[in-house]
Amino acid sequence: MNSSDNQKPLADWLWRVAKGFLIGVGAIVPGLSGGVLMVVFGVYDRLIAFLANLRRRFFEDFLFFLPIGIGGLLGVFLFSIFVKRAFETYEALFVTLFIGFVAGTLPTLNRDAKRQGRGPGDIVAFLAAATLVLVMMLLGDRQFTDLEPNFALWVLSGALVGLGFIVPGLSPSNFLMYLGLYQKMAAGIEALDFSVLLPLALGLAGVIALLSKFVHWLITRHYSTIYHIILGTVVGSSLAIFPTIVFPAFTPAGVAATGMAAEISLLLCVLLFGLGLVASLLFSRLETRYAKEAAVSETAGR
C-alpha cells in the first residue's frame, strides 16, 4: 500500500464534510433545499434507507454520515452569521446566486428522474408538482410577517427544515421568510440561543423520525414518480423566487434599500446567477468524476 492509498480515507472524509457543509447551507438559503443537494451529492437515498432501518448497518452508516453531519452543522452556523449581515440589505443578489446554483443541478436531477424511464404519468406528476409549489409560494408571498416567535413556532420551523431534507425540492427558508421567522431564526442560530435551537432541533428530529420510513417506502415502490415530483418542486420553487424576492429589489423601495441603481443591481443579479450556475455545473462534474473513481476503486478492491 502506497502513501496515496493512505490518503484516500482522509480525502473521502473531507469530501463528505464539504458535501455536508453545502447541504447545511442549502437547508437555510432561500430557494435552496438541503434535500435537493443530498440527491445531487448522491447521499439522499442512503440517508432515507438508514433512517428507515436504523438497526441495519447502523455502525457503518453512522460513520458514513458523521462527517456529513459535522459539515452540515458548520454550514448552518457559519451561513447564519452571513445571512444576518448580508441578506438584510442584499437579499436579492445572494438569492440570485443560489438560484443559479440550483439551476445547475437540474441536469443531474433530470437524469436521476428518468433513470427508470419517463412515462405520461411522470410528466403529469412533474407539471402538477411544479404548478402547485409555484402557486402556493406566489399566493403566500410574505403575508404573515407579524408573527411573534414562540416555542411552538420554532418547533414548526424545525419541522419545516426537516421536511426540506425529507422532501427534496422543498425550500423551508422560503416559507420561513413568508412567516417572518427566517432572519430571526438565523440570528438565534448565530447567537447560539437555546430557546431557538432546542425547539428547532425537536421539530427537525420529530418530522424526520415520523416520515423517513414512509418516504423510503414511496421511493422504493414509486421511484420514477417521486423523482419527477422532486424535479417539479425544484423548478416551481425556483421560479417563484423571482417574483417574490428578486423582482421587488428593482422597485423604488428596493433600490433605496440597497443604495444601488436598478441597472447595477440587475447586472449583479445576472452575473451572480451565472456564477452560481457555472459553479454548480462544475461541482456536478467533479461529483460525477469522484463517484466513478470511488466505484472503480471499490470494484478493484473486491
pLDDT tens by residue, 77-108:
888 887 766 666 777 887 788 788 778 878 87
272/168 Cα distance (integer angstroms): 24
The least confident of 179-183, 239-243, 274-278 is: 179-183
Number of domains in the chain: 1
64/71 Cα distance (integer angstroms): 12
Residue 226 lies in a domain: yes
Domain that holds residue 11: 7-291
Residue 301 lies in a domain: no
Residue 24 confidence (pLDDT): 87
Residue 254, Cβ density class (10 Å: 0-12 exposed, 13-18 middle, ≥19 buried): middle
Residue 296 lies in a domain: no
133/95 Cα distance (integer angstroms): 18
Highest mean pLDDT among 18-22, 31-35, 179-183, 287-291: 18-22
Residue 41 pLDDT greater than 80, yes or no: no
Mean pLDDT of the chain: 80
pLDDT tens, 167-176?
Answer: 766 667 767 7
Residue 68 confidence (pLDDT): 93
Residue 299 lies in a domain: no
Give the percent of the chain with pLDDT over 90.
Answer: 17
H-type helices in 114-190, by residue range? Answer: 120-139, 151-166, 172-178, 182-190
Positive or negative: CA dihedral 73, 75, 78, 81: negative
Residue 137 lies in a domain: yes
142/245 Cα distance (integer angstroms): 10
Residue 1 lies in a domain: no
pTM of full prediction above 0.75: no
Residue 2 lies in a domain: no
